[in-house]
A and B are shown apart, each in its own frame.
Chain A
Amino acid sequence: MRPEISRTSGTLERAAPAPKRWHLPAAFVPAALVTPGLLAVLLVIGIPLGYSFFVSLNRTNVLTHRWHFVGLANYAAALTDPDFFAAFERTILFAGGAVLAGLVIGIGMALVLNARIPGRGFMRGLVLIPWAMSPIAVGILWSWIFNGEYGPLDGILLDLGVIHHSIYWLGGGTSAFILVALVYVWNQAPLTCLLVLGGLQSMPENLHKAARVDGAGPWRRFWRITLPWLRPTLLLVLILTTINAIMAFDLFWIITQGGPGDSTTVISWLGYVQAFQYFQFGQGAAILYLLTLLCLVLAIAYFLLLLAPERRRMKRVQAAQRAEAAPLAASLRVRTPPPIAIRFPPSAARPVPRGGGEAWGQTATRIAALLMLLWSALPVLWLLLMSLSPSAELIRSPPHLIPDHLTLENYRAILFPRVSGAASVEARRVPYAIWNSLIVSTFVTVINVVLGSLAGYGFAIAGRGLRVSLWALMLTRMIPSLVLILPFYIIFRAAGLLDTRTGLVLAYCSLILPLSIWIMKGYLEGIPATLEQAARMDGCTRLQAIRKVVLPVARPGIIATAIFCFLVSWNEFVIALILTSTPASQTIPVTIAGFLAQLQFYDYGPMFAASVLAVVPPVLVTLFFQRALVTGMTSGSVKG
């Protein structure tokens, strides 16, 4: 028996109706949410970008610091300079190779990680480590591995007897170029893997089952089912990795400095040298502007190339729809169908494909998984090993792979410089640099999560009206950070923000804000609109509904955004390098780079120890939140 329902009208004692409050008209809510974020973007990107363009139309006299307006002369000079074209060619070569290799390796890793292998969760975290590491640590690690006098690569080969005298891997132009590209791929392929993995996980399981019933083997299924499904993901990956590769700078700075000769001088390096080593701001800005243009053109080309077939198909669909419209009366009468006249051939007449490939596939997957493990973990273990080696052992020549004994002395030197006594000037700076990094990253994360959530929600609920500004936002991804550093440098110098943490936080927002808005928008779009509506029925105002219902539900997306903000600001190098000059505001990547500038043999150990410390927080965060990263980032993200 069900209990009786008794409605005693008016038993609920409701509080007296609240006095009428002023409400924002519904149509303005999206715009109001988006405004703070867009204003911030205008402030940290729009103004510097405009200023940078203005700078590119001028020349400065190095001696008098006077500015002369020269129109487009800087561009003309760059475009007639054979050095520029040589750098252009190298940039294209580097980007092409890196994108292609990254794509193949990244997709391969994603396929393995999507398969059923033992320890999959652990593997997923591990594969992401090279990407979570700061490019500076990556550069230090690999340039040491390739070092011709003390490098462990020579160490292995000598120990194994493959070679009999050391090879200077980075001494030759071509080999240096290829090695930098290889290191770049090592660092960046996990990004491709992460995005592709997200795409793979959203693929309906039944697709592959249906294809197997249709008799398609694994190879055929990959080309005909998996790749077409990944098409939109791959478009995003292509655009992101191409732009990242064209703008690559950190690794060149740390490994080759554009050399030997000019064999690794790409456009970003050329622009950097012009602007910040020769202090020819105008010429440097012009070169970097040309680089921006290149990114833009490529992004548009990708779009047209990959989306054009889809567009043509949609046009045909719409045309067919128009032709189909029929009056009601005609649609209500049913024609008696004619008897079926087609005869299907008996299925026995067709050959049945052989089975048995699946077992092979599993073995291959396991071998691939093992290779991935070595590729991702071995260099990191090496870094760890070197940080535990006494400095004297590191510079033993000929080099050996395994040190004779391990020590924590390097860590003591940088963490407790006063106690250890033996620490150098640079080593003493490490603790405070970590502190600076922590403060800057925390502030950047908080600011960007707040502004990104608000604006992301605004864009998610907005109709067509705001779409233009969203695309404008994404176009800022095409701007190399070097272009913005120049105006930041000049403006901050005037405003007294140079060499301050505040300045760094502002500059990092320019890098991160557009993407944090984009990620949050993607995530918030997936939350059903009915949730917010239900909250409004339940008596919430629009803002209460967002605060009490939408934001709690969006927590995984917010976490992913926060991780992303933290990783980028913690690892960032070039902005910090130029905008800071003293330990008061230098972050950990800059401090590590400082070891290289004044390298003493006793500093090698502490340098590697500092690199390990710089790598620990992002790696821990990535390992801990890898699931949130994979799900949160599928919406279209990502670290530069």
Chain B
Amino acid sequence: MASVSLERMSKSYGAVAALQALEMRIGNGEFLTLLGPSGCGKSTALACIAGLETPTAGRILFGDRDVTRLEPHQRDIAMVFQDYALYPHMTVRENMLFGLQQQKVGRTESEREVARAADVLDLGHLLDRRPAELSGGQRQRVAVGRAVVRNPSVFLMDEPLSNLDAALRVRTRTEIRRLQRELGVTAVFVTHDQEEAMVLSDRIAVMRGGVLQQLGRPMDVYRDPLNLFVASFIGSPAMNILEAEARLEGDAVHVRVSGQNLRLPHTVTRTSWEGTHKALLGIRPTDLGVAAPEPSSLCGRVFLVEPVGPFAYVDIDIDGWTIKGTCDPDRAPAIGDVIGITFISDRVCLFDPQTEVRL
């Protein structure tokens, strides 16, 4: 077990900067997720932690040990790959034993560890199969088992769930979380799936273009995004974005959207300004409801209703732009209805349209 510290870690390939001065400390036993779209640098960061890539600048520490220049096999880590990377010429048992043999762990000791991991992951009946003879879910469990038996100080996972079908993915992520918590091992997880990141992590690091955007606990990142990118990337369906003008007045913010004036509590802002400021108003579909149209409320026309079970999404057209809200599926408006739109007003986020940062 060890903490992992990245100190101004940068990586560039020629002129292309894949990581720019990444700075974070992952606590002992913490589950941290690197989240972002493809090309954001999350996998490069993981490869640097693993020792598969060497940073062009900065340091990586495991505990107090500087591992920046060490080979992967000198770092005492284990990794689960997106394609699992099971050795096709070895059986499940040999796959799990391989790492222990490389570390010169005794035969009986290794056998016991493998038996225990097989027990925990329900692989006992598969030990003599080759990877080609396993289903996708079984392969995934073997990959996790291979990493677990190593008893590593840091556990790395590179999108390990993305090749599973939806139902299995949900079940497996619970399993991974349970394992990590009970083993108490430090884990770094890479994904582009924000829901996975929310469910699994102690903390999430949202990345974009090689730059860390926000690092925080899942609900903090969800409720209090630092910028437009984080706001739009976390949460599904994505946050609605409307063009607006905002003015500070006493302890309230007056926002003008689509010809209507709305009054929001000042707690939605993080800065202050003089006069009227152009802004982008962000509100999550789950914080936006429908009501009877009133002269003082923001109105729109319903053009699609999508029931998902516990609630229904309503697509509403305002001046040619689409926004999404939610409603009770049993009391959904009809398509073509003109309706009023209600917000949970302290859940609104305001962004500067130029800098994309929270106002």
Contacts and interface: CB of A to CB of B under 8 A. Distances in A.
Interface of A: 2-5, 7, 9, 11-15, 23, 26, 328-329, 332-336, 528, 530-531, 533-542, 544, 548-549, 552-553, 555
B228 to A, nearest CB: 6
Given A5-B120, A12-B113, A536 B320 contact: no
Given A333-B241, A544-B102, A552-B89, 12 more contacts: A3-B119, A5-B179, A9-B1, A12-B151, A15-B104, A332-B228, A332-B232, A530-B82, A530-B83, A534-B85, A535-B87, A537-B50
A342 to B, nearest CB: 19
A143 B50 CA distance: 65
Contacts of B243: 333
B229 A328 contact: yes
Interface string B71-86: 1110001110111011
25 contacts: A13-B106, A14-B104, A23-B71, A328-B228, A328-B356, A329-B228, A332-B239, A332-B241, A333-B241, A335-B320, A336-B317, A528-B83, A530-B82, A533-B50, A533-B52, A534-B81, A534-B85, A534-B87, A538-B98, A539-B99, A539-B102, A541-B73, A542-B71, A548-B98, A553-B89
A5 B73 contact: no
B273 interface: no
Interface of B: 1, 50-52, 54, 71-73, 77-79, 81-83, 85-89, 98-100, 102-106, 109, 113, 119-120, 122, 146, 150-151, 179, 182-184, 228-229, 232, 238-239, 241-243, 280, 303, 317, 320-323, 351, 353, 356
Contacts of A552: 87, 89
Contacts of B109: 12-13
Contacts of A328: 228-229, 232, 356
A160 B98 CA distance: 70
Given A329-B280, A332-B238, A336-B322, A14 B85 contact: no
A14 B105 contact: yes
A541 B74 CA distance: 9
A4 B178 CA distance: 11
A26 B183 CA distance: 33
Contacts of A5: 120, 179, 182-183
B81 A533 contact: yes
A537 B87 contact: no
Instruction: List the 9 closest A-B pairs by CB distance, nearest first.
Output: A539-B102, A538-B99, A530-B85, A15-B104, A534-B85, A536-B72, A336-B317, A539-B73, A334-B322
B120 A3 contact: yes
Given A5-B183, A530-B83, A531-B87, A537 B320 contact: no
A555 B87 CA distance: 13
Given A12-B109, A538-B102, A335 B322 contact: yes
Determine which residue in B82, B99, B179, B353 has the highest number of CB atoms from chain A within 10 A of its CB, and name it: B99
Contacts of B184: 7
Nearest to A26: B54
A553 B88 contact: yes
Nearest to A542: B71
Nearest to B319: A336
Contacts of B303: 336
Contacts of A536: 51-52, 71-73
A334 B89 CA distance: 50
Contacts of B83: 528, 530
Contacts, number: 119
A61 to B, nearest CB: 57
A542 B71 CA distance: 9
Contacts of A538: 73, 78, 98-99, 102, 146, 150
A23 to B, nearest CB: 6
B296 to A, nearest CB: 24
Contact of A329 (B54, B88, B356): B356
B228 A533 contact: no
A536 B75 CA distance: 10
A26 B100 CA distance: 24
A15 B106 CA distance: 9
B208 to A, nearest CB: 9
A363 B239 CA distance: 61
Contact of A537 (B77, B104, B232, B317): B77
A533 B82 CA distance: 12
A608 to B, nearest CB: 44
Contacts of B98: 535, 538, 548
A272 B179 CA distance: 74
Contacts of B228: 328-329, 332
A9 B182 CA distance: 12
B118 to A, nearest CB: 10
B298 to A, nearest CB: 15
A537 B119 contact: no
A500 to B, nearest CB: 40
A208 B165 CA distance: 27
B353 A7 contact: no
Contacts of A333: 241-243, 321
Nearest to B316: A336
Contacts of B183: 5, 7
A538 B75 CA distance: 10
Nearest to B185: A7
A336 B72 contact: no
A373 B105 CA distance: 58
Determine which residue in A12, A535, A548 has the highest number of CB atoms from chain B within 10 A of its CB, and name it: A12
A553 B86 CA distance: 11
Nearest to A2: B120
Contacts of A533: 50, 52, 72, 79, 81, 85
A12 B105 contact: yes
B321 A335 contact: yes
B72 A537 contact: yes
A335 B100 CA distance: 56
A337 B241 CA distance: 17
Contact of B103 (A14, A332, A548): A14
A564 to B, nearest CB: 22
Determine which residue in A535, A538, A548, A549 has the highest number of CB atoms from chain B within 10 A of its CB, and name it: A538
A534 B152 CA distance: 14
A25 B307 CA distance: 58
B209 to A, nearest CB: 11
B329 to A, nearest CB: 22
Given A528-B85, A536-B71, A334 B120 contact: no
A537 B99 contact: yes
Contacts of A329: 228, 241, 280, 351, 353, 356
A555 to B, nearest CB: 8
Contacts of B238: 332
Contacts of A7: 182-184
A572 B329 CA distance: 79
Contacts of B353: 329
Contacts of A335: 320-322
B105 A13 contact: yes
Contacts of A11: 151
A534 B79 contact: yes
Nearest to B351: A329
Contacts of A15: 103-105
Contacts of A14: 103-105
Nearest to B75: A537
Determine which residue in A328, A332, A553 has the highest number of CB atoms from chain B within 10 A of its CB, and name it: A332
A329 B278 CA distance: 13
A329 B146 CA distance: 43
Nearest to A549: B87
Contacts of B73: 536-541
A79 B37 CA distance: 63
A329 B102 CA distance: 51
A639 B30 CA distance: 57
Contacts of A332: 228, 232, 238-239, 241
Nearest to A551: B89
Nearest to A331: B232
Contacts of B103: 14-15, 539
Contacts of B54: 26
